[in-house]
Structure 1
Amino acid sequence: MWSICSVLAVVLATGALLIALDAPRANAVVETVLKVADAVDLGVFSRVDGIVRFEGADAATRDALANWGLGAVFYVVMGRVLERVLRS
């Protein structure tokens, strides 16, 4: 369970980094990572309508970094909790 949650956290963190670096969306790898990150953000950590909302210049980048960053932390914590619960 820990490895699955870790992979999901890495996907969200990579997606946020790609948004911050303004990676070309025409690239198939970039598009795939962003689609998977959108799918695993649970809606709660969505870069469009997530927990944290910014306004002004670079709001989309800050939204992605904050929300997907929180989502990555959530998956890491939940992975550790689930690992301990399943091992007991």
Structure 2
Amino acid sequence: MRLDKFLKVSRIIKRRTVAKEIADKGRIEVNGITAKSSTNIKENDEIKIKFGNKTITVKVEKIKDSTKKEEVKELYTILDESYANESD
């Protein structure tokens, strides 16, 4: 499954176009490598996303084409969530 579609289906990022923009700006890494929106995602991949001053790292648990809101937590596990120090 494409990275941008996974981020939308998992509701990590609400819209696929926003996921594509963030990826195209080089702010997403998959397994430590800068990823494009078309990067293929597999189970057990680690995705690191930089949103402004927040960085989130998740592990892909399942791949599904569509989900209900209650099923979203089955798709990924949050490994790390950190905020950049604003006083730097």
TM-score by length of 2: 0.30
Which is richer in helix? 1
Q: Structure 1 or 2: larger strand share?
A: 2
Larger Rg: 1
Q: What TM-score comes out, normalization by structure 1 length?
A: 0.30
